[in-house]
Amino acid sequence: MNEEYDDIDLKSKLDAKLWKRILKYLLPYKKYLFLGIAGVLMQAFLETKIIEFISQQGIEKYIESGFNGTTFSLFVAGLFGLIVLDAIVSRCFFWACSRLEWFLYSDMTNEVYDHLQGLSYSFFDKYSVGWLMARTTSDTSKVGELISWGFSDLIWCICKLIFIFITMLKYSVKLSLVMAIAVPTLVIISYFFRKIIVKYFWRVRKLGSQVTSSLNEGISGAKTSKVLVIEDKNSKEFDQLTTKYKNVSLRRVIFTTLYYQSIAFLSACGIAAMCYFGGVSVIKGTIEVSVLFLFISYSTNFFEPVLGVARTTNDMKHAQVSASRICNLLDVKTEIPDSKEVIEKYGTYVNPKKENWEELKGNVRFENVSFKYTTGSGRYILENFNLNVEEGKTIAIVGETGAGKSTIVNLLCRFYEPTSGTIYIDGKDYKERSVNWLHSNLGYVMQTPHLFSGTIKENIRYGNMNATDEEIIAAAKAANADDFINKLENGYNTEVGEGGNRLSQGQKQLISFARAIVANPRIIVLDEATSSIDTKTEALIQKAISNILKGRTSFVIAHRLSTIVNADTILVIQQGKITEEGTHKELMKLKGYYYKLYTNQFIDEKMSEMGIK
């Protein structure tokens, strides 16, 4: 997964355009923005004041120049009031920030998610789910967090520095200037160490994820390791990795502590300088004892905001990287857009104009269709492909992995469009109708069935959101799924678990059949599973398949003999071309590829039936 930031990314300059775009997300929430900024300003101000009152005014008025009971009580009560006010103000500020974080995160996630729904299938072929997940969830939450909290942190630090400095100037210009010397020194130290520490931070992260994946592999491959007697070798390799991790982490610890300790020592220098210069000034009578105390107090409070500025600017860099990854994703355009005229007539997927949709009959014609991926080697996967399929016929496609079988159905489904040539549906180029129109009339059953979390009923209804419960049960019956569903404790209301993992592979397949049947499509595309399933389920599946194909134009990437033999036409695809075409009988006579495939497959299926394979 491409989750790591590279060092290169972080070196990037400030991107003003990007920030403008990100800050636009905050615009609808002016109320919270105002409350947050006002709150953080007030907080920095109150904190500075509380210290000033206790250290300077309190000592000056009530300890140095004699004690006055009544005003002292008032003074203490006033201070307590400030403390309460500070708590209230921080509460408002925290609250506003947490809301802003949520708005940023959820708005961005929703927008990215919606955008992804509109992208064409080829996009999802190029990027892994992990890669997309990182952008849809982690990057958005990072931007939300870093911008709301990091930004307010930055404001707090800067304001506090300013307030403290203004207060100091009021009491002693000389001591203020002495203190101010610390700032550039701090910035230099900070800059020097941060660079090293950030470098180690990413190295540790990277090694850490390597350790995790190596650990996982050791677990998944434990049986194989035992058989190959490579346990010791594995452990040694793992040890090398963890030793490296340990050493790099330790180096990071050393640099980090050196950094913090030099800052701490600089702060100690500040305190010592205040004691010396302040002490001397008190002896000379230029300042009061209380002022000295105030400066010493501030000198311990002065360094945190300076460090905070260094930290938050770094955070902002991270936010920028995440934000740019999100924006790049939002800028991707769909590769298969409907033309303006098509949209006008057929509508979009969010707002379809179903009243203008023609009925689909199911005549399909490929005319000189060639296809290659826009990226990659540039080799044609499919070349000058011609095929005419009449309404209601079944086409079985056989051939080796990578021969181009799935390309044919991907083109038919308009997941991809031909590089050249035309695909006609009911005699009309399918580009002249909307993608949504085609998909609404299409049923697609994948090789590995994909179910969604939810109940069985919800999963079947996925094929047709308007289906009644009766229609769902009828579809399940046609898919031979009704029996096993009724045997489950909660019947149709059984939860299938994440990705359907509470059901067996065979059960998932039957449900995905029912889902396709309930959609009642005119064209059906079926990618048969290769993995063998127990004999009983296998018989159910075979019957279900013949039910699905009945009366529909069907394209089957076939592995089962029963499906292949019953097809109207069998296509043997080798290296992007049809090498054999005809019915089962015709092809057997050829004694070519199909003949060999058939005999092998026949033995395998017979043996599975006997329970030997």
Partner 1 sequence: MNVVRLLNKFSKKFLWIIGLIVGVTFLLNYIRSLVPLLIGQVFSILENKESNLPDYLLFFFNNKEGISAIITVAVSILCVCLVREIVNVFSDFIIGYAGESIGYVIQNGFYEHVQDLPYSYLNRVETGDLIQRSTNDINRVKQFYGEVLPEMINNILKIIIYSTQIFMIVKDDLAIGFAIMGFIPIIIVLALVFFKGMVKYFDAFETNEGKVSTVVQENLTGIRVVKAFANEELEIRKERSIMNRFGIAWKNMMNRLTGYWPTGDFLGYTMLLVAFTMGALSIKNNILTLSTVVSLIFYVEYLMWPTRMLGRELSNLGRTNIAAKRILEICEMPSEYDICNGDLKEPIKGGIEFKNVGFKFDDANFPLLKNVSFKIEPGQTVSIIGKTGCGKSTLVSLINRLVEPTEGKILIDGIESTRFEKKYLRSKIGLVLQEPFLFTKTIADNIGIAQGSKDLDVIKDVSDIASVRNDIERFEEGYDTLVGERGVTLSGGQKQRISIARAIVDEKPILIFDDSLSAVDTETDIHIRNALKSRKLKSTTILITHRISTAKDSDLIIVLEDGKISNIGKHDQLIKQPGLYKEIWDIQSSIEREGE
Stretch 266-285 residues interacting with partner 1 (CB under 8 A)? 268-269, 271-273, 275-276, 278-280, 282-283
User: Could you tell me whether strands 553-557 and 523-527 are parallel, antiparallel, or unpaired per DSSP bridges?
Assistant: parallel
Q: How far apart are CA 287 and CA 3, in angstroms?
A: 57
Binding to partner 1 by CB under 8 A, coded x per residue (else -) over 13-52, reads -------------------------------------x--
Rounded to the nearest 5°, which phi and psi values hold at 144?
-55, -50
Nearest approach, Cβ of 440 to partner 1 (angstroms)? 5
Give whichever of 339 and 535 is closer to partner 1, judged by the CB atom.
535
Measure the CA angle with vertex 499, ends 496 and 504; round to 5°.
Answer: 60
Please, which of residues 121-180 interact with partner 1 by CB under 8 A?
Answer: 121, 124, 129, 132-133, 136-137
The tokens describing 481, both together, are: 């799924």
Element (H, E) at 542: helix 535-549
Nearest approach, Cβ of 67 to partner 1 (angstroms)? 4
Q: Applying CB under 8 A, does 292 fall inside the site for partner 1?
A: yes
Give whichever of 195 and 226 is closer to partner 1, judged by the CB atom.
226
Sole binder of partner 1 in the list 14, 23, 76, 590 (CB under 8 A)? 76
Sole residue written with tokens 């931007």: 143
Element (H, E) at 48: helix 30-52
Please, which of residues 328-387 interact with partner 1 by CB under 8 A?
Answer: 349-350
Q: How many residues bind partner 1 (CB under 8 A)?
A: 133
Nearest approach, Cβ of 368 to partner 1 (angstroms)? 26
Nearest approach, Cβ of 572 to partner 1 (angstroms)? 16
Q: How far apart are CA 538 and CA 541, in angstroms?
A: 5
Window of 7-15, 54-62, 470-478, 536-544 that interacts with partner 1 by CB under 8 A: 54-62
- 3-class secondary structure, 577: strand
Window of 13-21, 95-103, 167-175, 338-346 that interacts with partner 1 by CB under 8 A: 95-103
Helical residues (DSSP H) of 182-288, grouped into ranges: 182-220, 222-228, 231-273, 279-284
User: Which is nearest to 308 in space by CA: 169, 160, 176?
Assistant: 160
Give whichever of 129 and 166 is closer to partner 1, judged by the CB atom.
129
Please, which of residues 376-435 interact with partner 1 by CB under 8 A?
Answer: 401, 413, 415
Give whichever of 12 and 501 is closer to partner 1, judged by the CB atom.
501
Asked if residue 406 lies in contact with residue 487, where contact means CB atoms within 8 angstroms, the answer is: no
Q: How far apart are CA 177 and CA 158, in angstroms?
A: 18
Please, which of residues 209-238 interact with partner 1 by CB under 8 A?
Answer: 211-213, 215-235, 238
Q: Applying CB under 8 A, does 74 fall inside the site for partner 1?
A: no
DSSP bridge partners of 394: 554
* Residues in contact with 270: Cβ distance below 8 Å, sequence separation at least 6, in sequence order: 179, 182, 299, 302, 303
Q: How far apart are CA 438 and CA 412, in angstroms?
A: 10
Give whichever of 187 and 271 is closer to partner 1, judged by the CB atom.
271
Sole binder of partner 1 in the list 254, 286, 328, 358 (CB under 8 A)? 254
Query: What Cα–Cα distance (Å) separates residue 492 from each residue in 165, 255, 448?
Result: 70, 60, 21
Binding to partner 1 by CB under 8 A, coded x per residue (else -) over 520-559, reads -----x----------------------------------
What secondary structure letter does DSSP report for 123? H
Buried b (16+ CB within 10 A) or exposed e, 165-203: bebbeebbeebbebbeebeeebeebbeebbeebbebeeb
Sole binder of partner 1 in the list 17, 30, 67, 341 (CB under 8 A)? 67
Nearest approach, Cβ of 542 to partner 1 (angstroms)? 19
Q: Applying CB under 8 A, does 185 fall inside the site for partner 1?
A: no
Nearest approach, Cβ of 291 to partner 1 (angstroms)? 12
Q: Applying CB under 8 A, does 468 fall inside the site for partner 1?
A: no
Window of 9-17, 91-99, 367-375, 481-489 that interacts with partner 1 by CB under 8 A: 91-99
Nearest approach, Cβ of 76 to partner 1 (angstroms)? 5
Give whichever of 43 and 176 is closer to partner 1, judged by the CB atom.
43
Asked if residue 412 lies in contact with residue 527, where contact means CB atoms within 8 angstroms, the answer is: no
Q: How far apart are CA 316 and CA 301, in angstroms?
A: 24
Sole binder of partner 1 in the list 7, 304, 358, 498 (CB under 8 A)? 498
The tokens describing 464, both together, are: 């047709």
Q: Applying CB under 8 A, does 258 fall inside the site for partner 1?
A: yes
Give whichever of 320 and 444 is closer to partner 1, judged by the CB atom.
444
- Sheet of strand 364-371, all strands in order from the earlier edge strand to the far edge: 382-389, 364-371, 420-425, 428-429
